Every structure is written in structure tokens, then in C-alpha cells.
Structure 1
């Protein structure tokens, strides 16, 4: 019973981390567009492709682990599908290059990933 409780705690922390990472990604994206597009500041740092690749890699790892464990725990595949769609949108954002399309795809993607993690957390409570 203690092992099961510990695993549930880890999964919950991963879902919460996914929500925080999604929020940070959305803020970074919006601030990047505003600061670079309107003020012309920080383009080299804020729009660095490395930041986006690392963010996507973190989102993939956290999302696949926590949402995958969620499916195993409560049997609902909905959060995994929504999260997968969000991750796909985030990957598309990297492919389109910098600008408004990238920002829109990223914000939509991270919103779906965050929603998937929230749904996953709520499903744990009800399972």
C-alpha cells in the first residue's frame, strides 16, 4: 500500500510539473512575440531554437510518463489523446519558424497539454 501511495504521489507531481511547464512555455512564447515583435528586444535569446527543442523534449518526457501512467491507473485514454494532440501542435510550432503562427500553435499546444494533465489529476481522484 505504501508503494502504491508513493507511485501515485510521483504521478501527481509529474502532472503538476507538466502544468507548470505548460504555463511557463505559454508565458515565454507570448513574451517572446511581444518583446521581439513589438519592441525588438531579446530575439537571440527568447527565440533561440534550442529553448524550443529543450521545452518540447521536457514536455514529451513529462507528458508521456505522467499521462501514460494515468492511463494505466484509471484506464481513461482521453488525457493521453488530448496531451498527444497538444504535443503535436508544439512540434508543428517548431517546424513553422518564428512569428505569429509559431506562437499560436505553441499556446494552443501547451493549453491542450495542461488540460490533459489537469484531467489526468482529476481522474486519479475519481479512480
Structure 2
């Protein structure tokens, strides 16, 4: 009974992780286009707190959903892929704002999202 209740929660967390990853990638691309093209919004789009909060949410959701899934289905691939992505995202915080940061972040969120997708597939 408890396991049936847990599975939909984990599925929602994985889906939330995928949506969060997509929003993060969209934020990166929009930041570059809007700030570079129009010269507005730099203080908001490039504010370090947005990136720190996004990474903290990604880590929390991935830890719960993918960690939970890895314990359940005993497959390491979703965990390894997602943790690699989180490492790229963390690395993006260490470089100046701009192209390099966007590339690291987009690689990171793509890998985290893939980890969530793999986790969902292994749940079945």
C-alpha cells in the first residue's frame, strides 16, 4: 500500500525536475538574447541568487527523486547522469556570466533532465 502511494510522488518529483531543467535552460538562453540584444534586465537575469536557488532546487529534487528511484530499482545510471549534470551546473557558478556559463548550465540541465527521464523509465 505504501509503495503505491510513494510511486506517484516520485513520478511527480521526476517530472518537476524535468520542468525545472527546461526552465533553467530557457532562462539561460533568454538571458543571453535579452541582455545582449536589448541591453535590459542584466541585474535580474544575471543575479547570482537566481542561479544559486535554481541549483539548490535541482539538487534537492534530484536527490529525493533520483536517489529514491536508485534505491528502488537498483540502477546507477540515472543517479550518475544526474550527478554529472549537477556538477556541470555547479561549475557554471564558478565562471563569469556569459557564454561559458550558459554552455555549462545547459549541458548540466540536459544531463539532470536525462537522469530524471531514465529514472522514470526504470520505475516501470
TM-score tier, shorter chain, comes to over 0.9
CA distance, structure 1, for counterparts of residue 37 and residue 91 of structure 2: 24
Find the counterpart in structure 1 of residue 40 from structure 2: 41
Alignment of 1:79-118 (within 5 A): 79-118=78-117
Alignment of 1:41-80 (within 5 A): 41-80=40-79
Find the counterpart in structure 1 of residue 18 from structure 2: 19
CA distance, structure 1, for counterparts of residue 88 and residue 17 of structure 2: 16
Q: How many residues align structurally?
A: 124
Structure 2: runs of 5 or more not aligned: none
RMSD: 0.6
Measured after TM superposition, the shift of residue 77 of structure 1 is: 0.5
Find the counterpart in structure 2 of residue 124 from structure 1: 123
Residue deviations 1:25-74 (CA, integer Å, cap 9, x gap)? 00001000111122211000011000000000000000011110011110
Matched residue of 1:66: which SS? helix
CA distance, structure 1, for counterparts of residue 83 and residue 27 of structure 2: 21
CA distance, structure 1, for counterparts of residue 41 and residue 101 of structure 2: 17
Find the counterpart in structure 2 of residue 10 from structure 1: 9
CA distance, structure 2, for counterparts of residue 100 and residue 14 of structure 1: 30
Structure 1: runs of 5 or more not aligned: none
